Every structure is written in structure tokens, then in C-alpha cells.
Structure 1
Amino acid sequence: MNQYLKSLWLTETVRLIEKESGRFSDEDANRQASSIDGDLSDRIIQRAMVISDRNGLKEAQSDWLNSVKVSMIILCIISLFTGAGLAFSALAQNPVNLYWALLCLLGVHFVTLCLWGISCLFLPNESGSIFIHAWLWLAKKLSRKTTISQLLPAFITLFGKQIRWLIGLIVNLFWSVILFSALVVLVILLSSKHYSFEWQTTLLSADAIISITRLLGEIPSLLGFSLPNADMIRSSEQALSNGEIRSAWAVWLLGIFIVYGIAVRVMLLIFCWLKWVVACQRISLNTQHPEYQRLIHDLEPIPLKSITDKERDDRHFGTAFEPFSHVIGHKKWLVAIDVENSWLAPAQIAFLGLLNNSEQRSNTLDFLQQNPAEKLLIAIDTNRSPDRGMINLINGLMKKSTQTKVWFINQGRQYNNWLESLQKLNIEQADSTWLLE
């Protein structure tokens, strides 16, 4: 799965979570999404990526995909042994009852094939099988963390009816492995041991058996597999030790198994793979969902938020961008969080301003989103407690700068608590001279 499809998948997961549990704390995610070039779909995806990374959804998706890969490998190994079991059961007795052997080799294959075909036609969103249920169950067991419950529903919602091609791909892959394994074991057994073949019937006549045998062997005979003649078929009502007859029946059995078993599954495997590839290329985000429509205003590009009409333009521009006009061209800035309004920043430093209320914080983060800093120094009054809001703001500022450090402008009552918080944030201390270096 390519990165774009993973992004769409996470976007749908975020939508379902927000639909059930309410909006994430998404102010910074909206800000980052609004800053990118692209249409509404691109901005919604970017918002979801920020939220996913922050809330562990991306890690949960990666963990799920890894567990799915491991479970597929395990089920493929089980399929190898299953195929070998089919071959041994078909040749369990000697002489071999030909039609019982065919039933052992192809019976379950044909039943599951018919069920899968019917489910694809009438239940395109639920065309699963025992393999799919086993695969998903094993993937969940192998997952190292609690799986986000909306991941799988989001995947199904995203792909809709096209999910049937993925299910078909997986089902036919497992059956191809089973049948190839059975073929290898059949060839080994028939090559290393003498088997006699016979047919037995109570209801059918010898002529009916001859017709069925020739009908089944007609297509394989076109591919070079030998077809026993009428005399051979009639004489095989009782097992014979004639080497030519044994060889003809063995080739007939292998031909039918390859044509009606392996070839059918491989062709379906290729067909489902091609359909799935095409489906993946056509998948896009459905922005008509109400949850996405409610994001249109929040994800407007930042420049458009500042220029809507003349009255709003003057008011918004004056509060949001004029305070930063004196620092344009600089990349080393100072900000102050919850510092008294009377505090004066060093004159030689490019000062973005005080972040003492939500409007100041939002405007400054908008500016830094558009103009990331090379160095950002955060001035802090250590008389203020390092509460969750302060810590989240510092984290948000750190993401907007290549290098970030903290400047304690005093040694107040909460100084020791701030020192502990800095260790958790993995951020160093500095003073204003750091910006001049």
C-alpha cells in the first residue's frame, strides 16, 4: 500500500473517531493544514496526518499492517501443509479410486470458489471467507498494541465495493498456495511409488463413466495431457498393474487438477490483482461527508482568512500581521509566554511579542507557520506554574523552529518545577545572547 492510500485511510479513521467521540484538539493541525498549497482534500488529509501522528493513529496503522503481513506469512505456511494434506488424502489408498481422488483434490476448492463468486455478485462488501476471518483474527492477536477500533471500518468505508477485489486477491492467493503445494506432493508421490487406478460406481454405467472421463479430460488434452482411450477406461473398472495404463491415468489426474484447480485460481488471482490496482488508483477522499464539510471554514488558507472584505481586512491585518512587520527578514526570534506586559525585551533582539492570551498565541503561531524560525527563544516567568496549556504551547512553538531554547527571566517560585518540565521536553536553556550568535 502506497503512502497516499495510507493517508486516505488515516483520514477516514480520524473522521469516524470524530463522528463518534467529537472533534480532536485540532487548532495546530488546522493551522498546519491551512498553510499548505492544494485543494480542500489536500488540507483535510494534512490535518488528519498531524492528528494521527500526535494521537498514535499512524503508529497503530503501522502496527496493524505489520501484524497483517506476519499473519499472511503464517497462513501461507499453513496453506502449504493444507495442500500437502490434500495430496496425501487423495492418494491414501492403493489402488486409487480416481473420482474419489478428484473429489479430495478439487471438492473444497470448487465449493469455496462458488461461494466466493456468489458473494461477489450479491454481497460485494461482505465477500469474505474463512481465510479472511482467520487472517483478521490472527492479525489482531499479533498486534502489539490495542488496535484502534475504527481502522478496519475506515478502510472498508474508503474502498467501498472495491474491497471485494482485495478479498478476492487474498482468497485466491491462499488457494493458489494450497493447490501448488498439493501439486508438488502429488508429483513426488506419483514419481516415487507405484499406484494403480480404478473407478467404481453403483448407479452409473461404464459408458457414462467413459463420457465423464473424456469430458473432463478434453481441455487438459488440448494442453498436452494424455487422455485414456475407451478401452483403457472400460478395463480400469478393476485396478490393473499395466504400466502404460497407470501412467495414462496419473497424467489425466494431474492434467485435470492443474487445469480446473491451479489454472483457475491463478487466473482469478491475476484478475483480482489487476482490478485492485486499478481501484487503488481511482480512490479519492469523499469531501461531501458532513464531518469534512464542517472543516471548510477552519481549513481556509491563512492568507484568505486575512482578506475577505475591506472592513475585515483592516481589522484582522492590523491585529495579526502589523506587529510582525518589524521582524520580517529575520529568522531568529524571541517570544514571551505569560510574562507581565511591563516586561521589556532586549532592544537588539527581534521580538515577536507577548503570548498572554489566545489571540496573541494564535496570531504568533500563524505567523511562525508561514515563516518558520531558525532559532526561537521562549522567555518564561518562573513564577507561573508549568501547567498543561503552557507545555502544549511550548511544544507547538518547538515545531515551528529549527532550534528552540527557553530563557528563564527570573528564578521564581516555580523554578524547580520548570527545570523538571524542561527535562521532559528535552529542551535546553539559554539567554538572549544565544540569538545573536
Structure 2
Amino acid sequence: MRQPPSPTGGAGSLTDLWTAETIRLREALWGPLEDSAEVRQARAEGHGFVQRLLLRARLLARRESLDKVLRQWQRVARLALLAMLAAAALAGIGTALSALGDGARSINLNIALATTLGIHSFTLLLWLFSLAIGRGQGGAWLGEAWLWLTRKLARGPDAALAPTALVSLLGRNSSLRWGLGSISHLLWLVLLISMLLALTALLATRSHTFHWETTILPDEAFVSLTGILGWLPSQLGFQMPTESMIRASRNAGSAPAYVHALWTSWLIGCIVTYGLLPRLLAFIVSILLARLNLSSLTLDDALPSYADLRYRLMPSSERTGIDSPLAPEFLPSTASSPNALSMAVASAIVGIELAPDTPWPPAPLASCTDLGIIDTRAQRHHVLDHLQKHRAEKLLIVCDARQTPDRGTIALIADLAGLAQQPAVALIGPRTDALPAGNASSASQAAPRQRQWRQKLTAAGFTDAQIHDAPQAAADWLNADAKEPA
């Protein structure tokens, strides 16, 4: 289904709502995603709870490649719709050929009318009945067939989440009913138009004769029915046979040629009046109501999955500074100005789980923001929150190369690096002045771990130029073009 270009419900576009529902279903099926960085960014950039929920979902979808899954599903849906439109056009041509035959025999008007309008009339009445009782998508079989075909064609991990989330989202305010209905009516319109064009072409290039016949009904029944069916098309300008002409067509070949021309007008008029125009009206009503419902579609933030996120996305209080014992007192306040979220510092330094004997800072530094040493979860969150609001142009991340580079540490380094324009890592080894004379075993033991650090950091996206083994080299890089901290 087409997406409205305008925001939906004032709380995000249809794509944003669809993305949020996809993330919600994935977490409901396979457990919560690790989202500390995404929650932090949503809290920094979002305003209300719904906006933060949508931003979190958008960031998680980008990280987990779910946004690509949604785009792929949309492409498959368009291709499936185009294929069904082509099939509908071919079906319309086939129906016209079946109704008129090869022209060698006279055409039974009863059979021709039933062939061209029978299934169409049944499905349209079923759709109207479903609207009357207000249940299901009855009559929108072609729309449901399109959805089923798209599910089958979309392959890959998480491909089933996209249609499930879309159906769940649109089913909350009847958008799904009108959306599938509009697709079904569109396919019927294509079928009817192609059938009319094929009928016109066949009638214009071949000579056809028409007749009617009945075994159990009186002749008056067919004459009356023909007059009733022909009244409305006659109001639209189609020529209708008179009663005498109808009676004259009782048997094949008994009516003059001009009467057969009037039967052609009667047949085309009935198809236009009772087939094409009702479908066109149903399509217009469905597409307008679908767009109206989509414009009022909102995120149901009362769902349990969203309610659990409220206290994380909308905390009652937020700490704005760094409370590490090693953090200085001159850190900028996040509430100092209305533009605090866009403030940045020229350079900053932070340490990760350094040994107590590690000098801090590891080398003389020019003016820069000292974020201290991260040892606890609280300090980690405080530093990340600060960098989210005061992004650094340069950020030096100091690590102890004697420790094993575990997954959590590398993930923290990646989170910190993502909040700086130019990140770098300094690998601090053992203090040579603290080693006994002639004892180089500690340094030799640290060498393999430094290689492990470099391998892990390279896999995380760092280049060799961003990894420093010597404290002074790292300090020189940080001091270059240093500015006063904001």
C-alpha cells in the first residue's frame, strides 16, 4: 500500500510507525535488544515519549538492518502488485474472448452478461455485505492475495516481521480493511477496463450476432429484465433495443443487422454501468478512507512493550554532569544554555578501567576536557550522556594494554568513538620505571595483548593511525590544534 507523504497522526510517518511496530514484535518474540546507546541518543534528541520511542526504533532498525528489510519488502510488494495488475489485464482480455467467442456462432446474451459481470457482481456484493456487518476483509480477496503473494516472495532473515507488523499496525483503526479493499478494487478496475477494450476491439473487427433463449421462463420475463437493465445505461447515452427488437431476437439470426448493433450497445452499457462505475466508486471511497485513517494513525504507547520503556526514555530526573572522583570541576553544564545539546568541546580524554598505578593523565596535555576514568556502570552512563550532549571534536580513549580486550570494553570504546568527530585509542603498557632492572618479562608479556588490542580495534573500525602505543604520541595528537574547552 502506498505511504502518505505527510506525517501520520502528528507523531511520525507511516514508515516510522511501521518501524516501531517491527522492533516491538521482534523484541516480543526474541527478547529485548541492547539499546543503551540508542536510548541515550533518543533522550538527547527526542522531545515527547512517542518521539523518543520512534527515534529509538529508527536507530535500532538501522543498527539491526531492519530498515533494509522494510525497504526490500516494499520493493517486493510493488513488484507483486505490478505482476497482479498484468495478470488482471490478461484475465480481462480472456474474459472478453470467452464472452464473444470466435464470431462463428451467435452470442447468447444471458451467457455473455453472466460471463462478463457474474464474478465481479458477487465479489462486490460480498464486499458491501462485509461493510454492513463490520467484520473481516470480505470481498477484498484480491487485496488479501496480494498480501499473501508478497509474504511468499519476501525472503531472508526477519522478512516475516515486516508484513506481520504492517498488518498489526494498520488493523488498529480499519486502515487495513480500506487498504486491502482499494487494492482489490484497483485490480478489478484493470480487469474491467482491459475487458471493455478487448470487447470493443473484437466487436469493431468482427461481425457478431446476438440472441436470447429460455426454457422455463416466459418471454415476458426476459423482455422486462432487459428493459430494467437497459434503463440506467440509456440515461448515460447508450442506445437500447426496443421491446419489439427484443422479441425479434428470440432466436439466433432472426433479427436484422441494426438490432445486433443495438445489442452491442446494450451489452457495453451494462458492463460500464453495473461493472466499471461501481468499482470505480468503491475504489475512490476505499482509497480516500484508507488515507483518512492513515492520517489519524498513531503509536499505541499504552502497549506493555512500550510501557516498559517509559521510565528509561522519560526518566523523572537526569544527571547532566560527570561525578567520577577523577573528573574535574570545570566540566560544562548541560543546562547552561538552550543550545546545550549542540555544544561541542575541542578535545577530551577518558580512561577505561586503568590500574591504580597508571598516571593520569598519561602525558602532559594542553587545554582539553578531562572526563576521568570509567570504572563503574554509572560512570559509563554519565560519560556517554555527557558526550551525547557535548560532542568532542577529538576524543582520546586511554586503555590498559595489559588487560584482555573483552567484548564489553570494545563495545564501550565503539560507543565513545561514535560520539566524537575524530576518535583515537591510546594503549598504555606497564610503567618501565616501576620494573626491576634487567626484568623485561612484563613488557614481553604485554606485547601479545597489544596485538590482540589492535586486532579487536581494527575489527571495530579503527585504523592504524587511530591507535597509539606511546602515551606521548597520543598526547601530541590530542594537543595538535587544541582549543579551549566549551
The separation in 1 between residues aligned to 2:135 and 2:410, in whole angstroms, is 49
Give the superposition deviation at 1:356.
Answer: 2.7
8 Å CA contact 1:34, 1:301 repeated in 2: no
RMSD across aligned positions (CA)? 2.4
Task: Provide the TM-score with structure 2 as the length reference.
Answer: 0.82
31, 36, 47: which one pairs with 2:40?
Answer: 31
Give the superposition deviation at 1:44.
Answer: 1.3
> Aligned to 2:422, what secondary structure does the other structure show?
strand
C-alpha distance 318-397 of structure 1, shift in aligned 2 (>3 A): closer
Give the superposition deviation at 1:285.
Answer: 1.0
Name the residue aligned to 1:272.
Answer: 286
> Aligned to 2:238, what secondary structure does the other structure show?
coil
Task: Confirm or deny that 1:333 pairs with 2:348.
Answer: yes
> Aligned to 1:326, what secondary structure does the other structure show?
coil
Gaps in structure 2 of 5+ consecutive residues: 6-11, 333-343, 430-445, 467-473, 482-486
The separation in 1 between residues aligned to 2:302 and 2:125, in whole angstroms, is 37
Q: For residue 132 of structure 1, what is the amino acid of its counterpart?
A: G
The separation in 2 between residues aligned to 1:260 and 1:387, in whole angstroms, is 72
1:325-364 to 2 correspondences below 5 Å: 325-328=329-332, 330-341=345-356, 342-345=358-361, 346=363, 347-348=365-366, 349-364=368-383
> Aligned to 1:20, what secondary structure does the other structure show?
helix
417, 427, 430: which one pairs with 2:452?
Answer: 417
Name the residue aligned to 2:477.
Answer: 434
8 Å CA contact 1:35, 1:301 repeated in 2: no
205, 210, 222: which one pairs with 1:197?
Answer: 210
1:127-138 to 2 correspondences below 5 Å: 127=138, 129-138=140-149
Give the superposition deviation at 1:320.
Answer: 6.7
Give the superposition deviation at 1:334.
Answer: 2.1
C-alpha distance 121-370 of structure 1, shift in aligned 2 (>3 A): farther
Q: Which moved more, 1:172-181 or 1:423-432?
A: 423-432
Q: Which moved more, 1:316-325 or 1:202-211?
A: 316-325
8 Å CA contact 1:168, 1:269 repeated in 2: yes
The separation in 2 between residues aligned to 1:368 and 1:214, in whole angstroms, is 81
Task: Confirm or deny that 1:386 pairs with 2:415.
Answer: no
1:29-428 to 2 correspondences below 5 Å: 29-92=38-101, 94-122=105-133, 124-127=135-138, 129-159=140-170, 160=172, 161-240=174-253, 242-300=256-314, 304-306=317-319, 319=323, 323=327, 325-328=329-332, 330-341=345-356, 342-345=358-361, 346=363, 347-348=365-366, 349-410=368-429, 412-428=447-463
The separation in 1 between residues aligned to 2:394 and 2:159, in whole angstroms, is 37
Report which of the two structures shows the higher radius of gyration computed on alpha carbons. 2
Q: Deviations over 1:290-344 (max 9, x none)?
A: 2222222111269x323xxxxxxxxx86727993653536232222223324332
Gaps in structure 1 of 5+ consecutive residues: 307-315
8 Å CA contact 1:382, 1:413 repeated in 2: no
Q: Deviations over 1:137-162 (max 9, x none)?
A: 32133324234434333323322223
Give the superposition deviation at 1:9.
Answer: 1.4
Aligned residue pair count: 427
C-alpha distance 125-333 of structure 1, shift in aligned 2 (>3 A): farther
The separation in 2 between residues aligned to 1:69 and 1:124, in whole angstroms, is 27
The separation in 2 between residues aligned to 1:203 and 1:335, in whole angstroms, is 96
The separation in 1 between residues aligned to 2:318 and 2:425, in whole angstroms, is 31
Give the superposition deviation at 1:235.
Answer: 0.4
8 Å CA contact 1:127, 1:164 repeated in 2: no
The separation in 2 between residues aligned to 1:325 and 1:169, in whole angstroms, is 63
Q: For residue 363 of structure 1, what is the amino acid of its counterpart?
A: H
8 Å CA contact 1:71, 1:138 repeated in 2: yes
The separation in 1 between residues aligned to 2:477 and 2:272, in whole angstroms, is 75
The separation in 1 between residues aligned to 2:45 and 2:315, in whole angstroms, is 7
